[in-house]
Structure 1
Amino acid sequence: MAYLFLFGAVVAEVIGAIATRFSDGFTRLLPTTVTVVGVVSAYFLLSLALRAGMGIGVAYAIWAALGVCAVALIGALLLGDGLTWVQAAGIALVIGGVVSIELGGRH
């Protein structure tokens, strides 16, 4: 169940981050509202993942890394942001780092 909450936290955080782009410096009501609801929901769902027994180090690493990777890929694929080979390699390294943290936490 913890991973389900964590996945929801990642989705909410990504929605909030993408909405921030459209908020025009928090001057547009709908995207600003989506941003706030997304971020608050992300932290709430992260807290549920922690309460369900997931360690904070693993949970935060997965949440942050998947969020960063997802936002970067959505920006590149759907929003016209660039994505260089160096950035793509960075995404791969982030994913590798999270996998290392996850595997290292298991005894």
Structure 2
Amino acid sequence: MGYLFLALAIVTEVIATTFLKFTAGDNPKWWAYVIVVVGYLASFTALSQSLSRGVPLGIAYAIWSAIGVVCIVLVSWIFFKESLTWMQIVGLVLVIGGVGLLELGGKH
């Protein structure tokens, strides 16, 4: 159940971070601020719930942040047409690999 809350934390964090895009620029959208605040509150609440259900802090934070970064890069590339170079792709693979090694190397 802890990892289910971690997944919810990741999804809500990615939604909140995505909508930060709509709070910037010359014409910020007021509704985007609401989504950002609610999304981050939901994300930290779900992250806290995952910790209280046995997911170790270091592992939870590593998974939460790494998957969040990868998802935001993909959302930015797909929906906002931001560039994605081969070097950045290699970096994303290394981030995922590093988190995988943290998980595999932990005591079970």
**Class of the TM-score when normalised by the shorter of the 2 chains:** over 0.9
2:42 paired with 1:41: yes
1:58 alignment partner in structure 2: 59
TM (normalized to structure 1)? 0.95
Aligned residue-pair number = 107
Partner of 2:77: 76
Distance 2:63 2:107 in 1: 15
Instruction: Give the CA deviation at 1:79.
Output: 1.1
Q: Which runs of 4+ in 1 moved over 3 A?
A: none
One-letter amino acid of the structure 1 residue matched with residue 6 of structure 2: L
Unaligned runs of 5+ in 2: none
CA distance in structure 2 between the partners assigned to 1:72 and 1:106 by the alignment = 31
Gaps of 5+ in 1: none
Identity of aligned residues (%): 42
Q: Match of 1:12?
A: 12
- Aligned-pair RMSD on alpha carbons? 1.3
For residues 38 and 82 of structure 2, the distance between their equivalents in structure 1, rounded to whole angstroms, comes to: 24
TM-score by length of 2: 0.94
- SS of structure 1 residue aligned to 2:3: helix
